[in-house]
């Protein structure tokens, strides 16, 4: 849905390509709404586009490399190429000087006028690139004072702040028609992890209000969305700038009650801020996936302190245990960095011990690399690259084995599968322990006796199924009964 509609009979065509995380995907859908309202036809296919707008990722070196390659490939199509997003915000003029193939490098501050910016690009005008600045400095230090500041926060745009949220036009235009969509809780981060540059270009932490989130959730449900994935840089901080540390606990049952929504999933939890009340809300609220996406990063106390994070193997295991006491079959995932400056063999062995005992469903392993502007980049006690590679290979192999074992543990159990896609007769979805794209999937198959007709299923159906096999983190399951049929579905026929 767009903020306004164009009366221009000659609409221009823009291909909007999104790289990086789910937060970027939400930002792209805001840009799509603004562009559509400004007279542009928006597509995700570069063929025949007048302009290719790349929403870049600037998180780690590989992501930056992928962004550059996408921009260069877009330039080869003959369309005018524009860079937006995190990498563009982070490097600004530096990126413009090194990438002449791009017609313009845009800042987050350009988002409200994105249609006019692309109009200018198409007209051959020059847009001067911005000089990057630390966006944390744009907002007050005190969180509760930030909402009054007039600072652009991608994914937070409001068409008319004087109209109640449930009556406003939602400034978002979906770029796909799948049954799952991300809902941005907040932007920015107040943490100062020594390896992370995100707060400098994403800014300080700012929550969206519950009424805005509920209104957008209802709008998404109206477009066919069945599962909401709540995203932010740090979901456990939600509400602190609204004066309510329990805001997320209160919001979850309200989102789960939105008509048409059958599953709400929370992502990006900081272990040190995951309070008992929030654990209980995620583990026990009907309609909320008992799923814990916990940003552990490491488990050795000395390494965590150098990362300017908190916790330990024992504290993290206790957190997982407390959650499992409420929801024994919950899903849990995390990412880990190996080779952080100062990481000793004992530190690495402690991380191996944690992974072995944690019983995580999905594990991401990353090798440490220096990031521009981070404190860790200046640390002297760097781990040798050969050592990092050896530890990365060992931990990656262990993670694959452990996650496969965890999937095998679910054999014979019953899972609720949200059907995502049906292609060439293959029905694929995800259990409550499987987040989109990162945690594997569940393929539904008909039983040998033919008692279930898979042709009756469609994307968006929520089906109870029995797990019959696994491969890696992926499951194969036989439907047992329909839990909630998507609009127009004929259900599981026996």
Tell me whether residue 449 is exposed, middle or buried, using C-beta atoms within 10 angstroms of its C-beta: 0 to 12, 13 to 18, 19 or more.
exposed
Per-residue pLDDT of 402-441, as tens digits, reads: 999 999 999 999 999 999 999 988 999 999 999 998 889 9
At 440, give phi and psi (nearest 5°).
Answer: 85, -175
Q: Tell me 373's DSSP state.
A: T
Classify the phi-psi angles of 18: left when phi > 0, otherwise alpha if psi is within -120 to 50, otherwise beta: beta
- Between helices 276-284 and 247-256, what is the axis angle to 10°? 10
Q: For residue 212, what pLDDT is reported?
A: 94
Q: For residue 255, what pLDDT is reported?
A: 98
Helix (H) or strand (E) holding 116: helix 114-122
Q: From the CB of residue 6, how many other CB atoms can be counted at a distance below 10 Å?
A: 17
Q: For residue 7, what pLDDT is reported?
A: 42
d(C-alpha 113, C-alpha 268), whole Å: 30
Q: Which two tokens stand for residue 384?
A: 């040798």
| DSSP one-letter string for 42-96 | EES--TT-SEEEEEE--SSHHHHHHHHHHHHHHHTTTSEEEEEHHHHHHHTHHHH
- Taking only Cα atoms into account, the Rg of the chain, rounded to an integer number of angstroms, comes to 23
Predicted TM-score (pTM) of this structure: 0.92
Is 189 among the annotated ligand-binding positions? yes
For the chain, which residues score pLDDT lower than 50? 1-9, 490-494
Of 164, 163, 97, 171, which Cα lies nearest the Cα of 129? Answer: 97
d(C-alpha 70, C-alpha 75), whole Å: 9
Residue ranges and CATH numbers for the domains of the chain are 13-132 (3.40.50.12160), 137-409 (3.80.30.20), 413-484 (2.40.50.140)
Is 403 among the annotated ligand-binding positions? no
Residues 6+ apart with CB under 8 A from 270: 191, 234, 236, 237, 294, 295
Q: For residue 162, what pLDDT is reported?
A: 65
Q: In what order do the strands lie in the sheet with 180-184?
A: 180-184, 227-231, 263-266
Of 391, 397, 401, 417, which Cα lies nearest the Cα of 359? Answer: 401
Of 379, 469, 487, which Cα lies nearest the Cα of 415? Answer: 469
Residue with tokens 């059907």: 419
d(C-alpha 436, C-alpha 440), whole Å: 8
At 198, give phi and psi (nearest 5°).
Answer: -55, -45
Is 196 among the annotated ligand-binding positions? yes
Of 335, 316, 334, which Cα lies nearest the Cα of 324? Answer: 316
d(C-alpha 476, C-alpha 158), whole Å: 43
Sign of the torsion formed by the C-alpha atoms of 160, 166, 167 and 169? positive
d(C-alpha 432, C-alpha 290), whole Å: 7
Q: For residue 156, what pLDDT is reported?
A: 76
d(C-alpha 263, C-alpha 464), whole Å: 13
Q: For residue 493, what pLDDT is reported?
A: 37
């Amino acid at each position: 849905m767009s903020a306004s509609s164009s009366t221009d009979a000659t609409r221009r065509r823009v291909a909007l390509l999104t790289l990086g995380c789910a937060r970027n995907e939400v930002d792209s859908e805001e840009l799509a709404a603004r562009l559509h309202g400004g007279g542009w036809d928006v597509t995700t296919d570069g063929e025949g586009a007048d302009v290719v707008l790349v929403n870049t990722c600037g998180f780690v070196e590989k992501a930056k490399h992928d962004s550059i390659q996408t921009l260069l490939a877009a330039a080869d199509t003959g369309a005018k190429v524009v860079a937006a997003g995190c990498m563009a915000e982070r490097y600004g003029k530096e990126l413009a000087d090194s990438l002449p193939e791009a017609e313009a490098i845009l800042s987050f501050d350009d988002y409200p006028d994105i249609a006019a910016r692309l109009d200018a690009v198409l007209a051959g005008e020059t847009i001067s690139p911005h000089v990057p600045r630390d966006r944390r400095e744009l907002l007050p230090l005190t969180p509760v004072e930030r909402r009054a500041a007039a600072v652009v926060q991608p994914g937070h745009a409001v068409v008319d702040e004087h109209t109640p949220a449930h009556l406003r036009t939602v400034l978002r235009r979906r770029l796909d028609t799948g049954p799952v969509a991300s809902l941005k809780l907040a932007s920015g981060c107040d943490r100062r992890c020594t390896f992370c540059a995100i707060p400098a270009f994403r800014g300080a932490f700012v929550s969206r209000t519950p009424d805005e989130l509920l209104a957008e959730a209802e709008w998404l449900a109206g477009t066919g969305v069945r599962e909401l994935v709540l995203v932010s840089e740090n979901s456990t901080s939600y509400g602190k700038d609204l004066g309510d540390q329990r805001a997320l606990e209160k919001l979850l049952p309200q989102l789960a009650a939105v008509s048409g929504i059958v599953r709400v999933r929370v992502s990006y939890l900081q272990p040190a801020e995951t309070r008992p009340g929030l654990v209980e809300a995620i583990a026990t609220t009907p309609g909320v996936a008992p799923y814990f996406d916990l940003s552990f990063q490491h488990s050795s106390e000395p390494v965590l302190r150098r990362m300017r994070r908190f916790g330990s193997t024992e504290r993290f295991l206790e957190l997982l245990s407390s959650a499992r006491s409420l929801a024994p079959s919950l899903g849990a995932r995390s990412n880990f960095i190996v080779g952080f400056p100062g990481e000793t063999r004992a530190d690495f062995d402690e991380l191996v011990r944690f992974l072995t005992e944690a019983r995580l469903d999905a594990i991401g392993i990353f090798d440490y690399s220096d990031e521009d502007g981070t404190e860790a980049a200046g640390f002297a006690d760097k781990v040798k690259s050969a050592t990092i590679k050896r530890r990365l290979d060992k931990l990656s192999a262990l993670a694959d084995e452990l996650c496969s074992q965890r999937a095998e543990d679910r054999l014979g159990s019953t899972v609720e599968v949200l059907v995502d896609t049906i292609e060439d007769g293959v029905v694929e979805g995800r259990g409550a322990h499987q987040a989109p794209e990162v945690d594997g999937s569940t393929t539904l198959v008909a039983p040998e006796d033919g008692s279930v007709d898979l042709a009756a299923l469609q994307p968006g159906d929520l089906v109870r199924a029995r797990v019959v096999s696994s491969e890696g983190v992926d499951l194969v399951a036989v439907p047992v009964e329909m839990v909630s049929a998507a609009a127009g579905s004929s259900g599981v026929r026996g």
